[in-house]
Amino acid sequence: SVCVCTKENHSLIPYTSHIYKTRHPVMQYIILIIKWKVNFEKKWFFVDSLIGARYGTTFDITGGGDLQPLCPSNALKAEVAVAESGVDNRNIQSDGSAQKLTRDDISALKEQGLRGTEIVSQLVENSSTFKEKTEFSQEKYIKRKKKKYESHITVLKPNARLLATMYHSREPAKICHLR
Protein backbone atom coordinates (compact mmCIF):
# COMPACT_ATOMS: atom_id res chain seq x y z
CA SER A 1 0.00 0.00 0.00
CA VAL A 2 1.40 3.39 -1.02
CA CYS A 3 -0.59 5.44 1.47
CA VAL A 4 0.77 5.45 5.02
CA CYS A 5 -2.09 5.72 7.49
CA THR A 6 -1.59 8.46 10.03
CA LYS A 7 -4.07 10.55 11.98
CA GLU A 8 -4.05 13.23 9.27
CA ASN A 9 -4.75 11.00 6.27
CA HIS A 10 -6.45 7.88 7.65
CA SER A 11 -9.42 8.41 5.34
CA LEU A 12 -7.42 8.62 2.09
CA ILE A 13 -7.89 5.86 -0.47
CA PRO A 14 -4.58 3.98 -0.89
CA TYR A 15 -3.32 2.21 -4.02
CA THR A 16 -4.61 -1.39 -4.45
CA SER A 17 -7.26 -0.86 -1.82
CA HIS A 18 -10.72 -2.36 -1.88
CA ILE A 19 -13.64 0.06 -2.15
CA TYR A 20 -17.37 0.21 -2.70
CA LYS A 21 -18.75 2.55 -5.25
CA THR A 22 -22.40 3.36 -5.19
CA ARG A 23 -24.93 5.06 -7.37
CA HIS A 24 -28.06 4.74 -5.34
CA PRO A 25 -29.37 2.04 -4.99
CA VAL A 26 -26.67 0.02 -6.82
CA MET A 27 -23.38 -0.84 -5.11
CA GLN A 28 -20.28 -2.50 -6.54
CA TYR A 29 -17.11 -3.78 -4.90
CA ILE A 30 -13.84 -3.12 -6.75
CA ILE A 31 -10.10 -3.25 -6.21
CA LEU A 32 -8.17 -0.14 -7.24
CA ILE A 33 -5.48 -0.87 -9.80
CA ILE A 34 -3.86 1.95 -11.78
CA LYS A 35 -5.13 2.38 -15.36
CA TRP A 36 -8.00 0.00 -14.69
CA LYS A 37 -11.18 0.72 -16.60
CA VAL A 38 -14.38 0.03 -14.67
CA ASN A 39 -17.89 -0.31 -16.09
CA PHE A 40 -20.69 0.68 -13.74
CA GLU A 41 -24.34 1.26 -14.66
CA LYS A 42 -23.62 1.76 -18.39
CA LYS A 43 -20.87 4.29 -17.56
CA TRP A 44 -17.14 3.66 -17.62
CA PHE A 45 -14.23 5.40 -15.93
CA PHE A 46 -10.62 4.92 -14.89
CA VAL A 47 -9.97 4.38 -11.18
CA ASP A 48 -6.74 6.45 -11.16
CA SER A 49 -8.59 9.54 -9.92
CA LEU A 50 -9.79 7.71 -6.82
CA ILE A 51 -6.32 7.01 -5.43
CA GLY A 52 -5.52 9.62 -2.81
CA ALA A 53 -9.09 10.90 -2.58
CA ARG A 54 -11.11 10.70 0.62
CA TYR A 55 -13.68 8.02 1.33
CA GLY A 56 -17.21 9.34 1.06
CA THR A 57 -16.35 11.69 -1.82
CA THR A 58 -18.91 11.97 -4.61
CA PHE A 59 -17.49 12.05 -8.13
CA ASP A 60 -18.95 13.04 -11.48
CA ILE A 61 -18.03 10.77 -14.40
CA THR A 62 -16.99 12.96 -17.33
CA GLY A 63 -17.12 12.00 -20.99
CA GLY A 64 -13.54 10.74 -21.23
CA GLY A 65 -13.79 8.38 -18.28
CA ASP A 66 -12.23 10.83 -15.83
CA LEU A 67 -13.67 11.44 -12.39
CA GLN A 68 -14.18 14.96 -11.08
CA PRO A 69 -14.89 15.37 -7.36
CA LEU A 70 -18.08 17.29 -6.67
CA CYS A 71 -18.37 19.97 -4.03
CA PRO A 72 -20.73 18.86 -1.23
CA SER A 73 -23.15 21.66 -2.11
CA ASN A 74 -23.27 20.54 -5.77
CA ALA A 75 -23.56 16.87 -4.88
CA LEU A 76 -26.64 17.39 -2.75
CA LYS A 77 -28.96 18.81 -5.34
CA ALA A 78 -28.69 20.55 -8.64
CA GLU A 79 -32.20 21.52 -9.59
CA VAL A 80 -33.60 22.30 -12.98
CA ALA A 81 -35.74 25.42 -12.83
CA VAL A 82 -39.42 24.78 -13.44
CA ALA A 83 -41.31 27.96 -14.28
CA GLU A 84 -44.92 26.85 -14.62
CA SER A 85 -46.99 23.70 -14.71
CA GLY A 86 -50.20 22.62 -16.37
CA VAL A 87 -53.51 21.61 -14.84
CA ASP A 88 -53.74 18.02 -16.09
CA ASN A 89 -52.15 15.60 -18.53
CA ARG A 90 -55.24 14.52 -20.47
CA ASN A 91 -54.36 16.35 -23.69
CA ILE A 92 -50.73 15.22 -23.85
CA GLN A 93 -49.95 12.57 -26.48
CA SER A 94 -46.91 10.43 -25.70
CA ASP A 95 -45.89 9.51 -29.23
CA GLY A 96 -42.30 10.75 -28.96
CA SER A 97 -42.80 13.83 -31.12
CA ALA A 98 -42.80 16.25 -28.16
CA GLN A 99 -39.00 16.19 -27.82
CA LYS A 100 -37.21 18.34 -30.38
CA LEU A 101 -33.76 16.93 -29.57
CA THR A 102 -32.80 13.75 -31.40
CA ARG A 103 -30.48 11.01 -30.13
CA ASP A 104 -27.71 12.44 -32.28
CA ASP A 105 -28.20 15.88 -30.69
CA ILE A 106 -28.02 14.39 -27.20
CA SER A 107 -24.90 12.39 -28.15
CA ALA A 108 -23.33 15.61 -29.45
CA LEU A 109 -24.11 17.33 -26.14
CA LYS A 110 -22.41 14.48 -24.27
CA GLU A 111 -19.36 14.67 -26.54
CA GLN A 112 -19.12 18.42 -25.92
CA GLY A 113 -18.65 17.56 -22.25
CA LEU A 114 -21.89 18.94 -20.86
CA ARG A 115 -22.78 17.66 -17.43
CA GLY A 116 -25.93 15.66 -16.79
CA THR A 117 -27.79 18.60 -15.24
CA GLU A 118 -27.13 20.73 -18.31
CA ILE A 119 -28.36 17.97 -20.62
CA VAL A 120 -31.54 17.61 -18.54
CA SER A 121 -32.06 21.38 -18.79
CA GLN A 122 -31.72 21.15 -22.57
CA LEU A 123 -34.25 18.31 -22.67
CA VAL A 124 -36.72 20.34 -20.60
CA GLU A 125 -36.28 23.42 -22.80
CA ASN A 126 -36.75 21.42 -26.00
CA SER A 127 -39.84 19.52 -24.85
CA SER A 128 -43.00 21.01 -26.31
CA THR A 129 -45.28 19.38 -23.71
CA PHE A 130 -43.24 19.94 -20.54
CA LYS A 131 -45.05 23.12 -19.51
CA GLU A 132 -48.43 21.45 -20.03
CA LYS A 133 -47.61 18.64 -17.58
CA THR A 134 -48.67 18.77 -13.93
CA GLU A 135 -46.06 19.66 -11.33
CA PHE A 136 -45.87 16.04 -10.20
CA SER A 137 -45.34 14.85 -13.80
CA GLN A 138 -42.64 17.47 -14.31
CA GLU A 139 -40.79 16.33 -11.19
CA LYS A 140 -41.11 12.70 -12.29
CA TYR A 141 -39.80 13.56 -15.78
CA ILE A 142 -36.82 15.44 -14.35
CA LYS A 143 -36.04 12.64 -11.89
CA ARG A 144 -36.13 10.04 -14.67
CA LYS A 145 -33.89 12.10 -16.96
CA LYS A 146 -31.42 12.82 -14.14
CA LYS A 147 -31.12 9.12 -13.45
CA LYS A 148 -30.37 8.52 -17.11
CA TYR A 149 -27.96 11.38 -17.84
CA GLU A 150 -26.32 12.31 -14.53
CA SER A 151 -23.45 10.08 -13.55
CA HIS A 152 -22.42 10.52 -9.94
CA ILE A 153 -20.75 7.85 -7.84
CA THR A 154 -19.82 7.87 -4.17
CA VAL A 155 -16.80 5.94 -2.91
CA LEU A 156 -17.25 4.18 0.43
CA LYS A 157 -14.80 2.39 2.70
CA PRO A 158 -15.57 -1.35 2.81
CA ASN A 159 -17.00 -2.84 5.97
CA ALA A 160 -19.18 -5.81 6.89
CA ARG A 161 -22.41 -3.80 6.84
CA LEU A 162 -21.82 -2.57 3.27
CA LEU A 163 -20.85 -6.06 2.12
CA ALA A 164 -24.07 -7.51 3.54
CA THR A 165 -26.12 -4.67 2.03
CA MET A 166 -24.53 -5.18 -1.38
CA TYR A 167 -25.11 -8.93 -1.37
CA HIS A 168 -28.65 -8.54 -0.05
CA SER A 169 -29.58 -6.09 -2.80
CA ARG A 170 -27.89 -7.99 -5.65
CA GLU A 171 -27.96 -11.68 -4.76
CA PRO A 172 -29.59 -12.46 -1.41
CA ALA A 173 -29.22 -16.24 -1.86
CA LYS A 174 -25.44 -15.85 -1.53
CA ILE A 175 -25.86 -14.84 2.10
CA CYS A 176 -28.80 -17.20 2.75
CA HIS A 177 -31.21 -14.25 2.78
CA LEU A 178 -29.64 -12.93 5.99
CA ARG A 179 -29.71 -9.26 6.59
Using DSSP's 3-state secondary structure scheme, residue 45 falls into strand
Q: What is the pLDDT of residue 83?
A: 60
Q: What is the pTM of this model?
A: 0.66
Query: Per mean pLDDT, which range of 5-9, 35-39, 51-55, 86-90 is the poorest?
Result: 5-9
38-48 burial string, b = 16+ CB within 10 Å, else e?
Answer: bebeeeebebb
Q: Higher pLDDT residue, 8 or 122?
A: 122
pLDDT (mean) for 15-39: 76
> Residue type at 34?
I
pLDDT at 104 over 90: yes
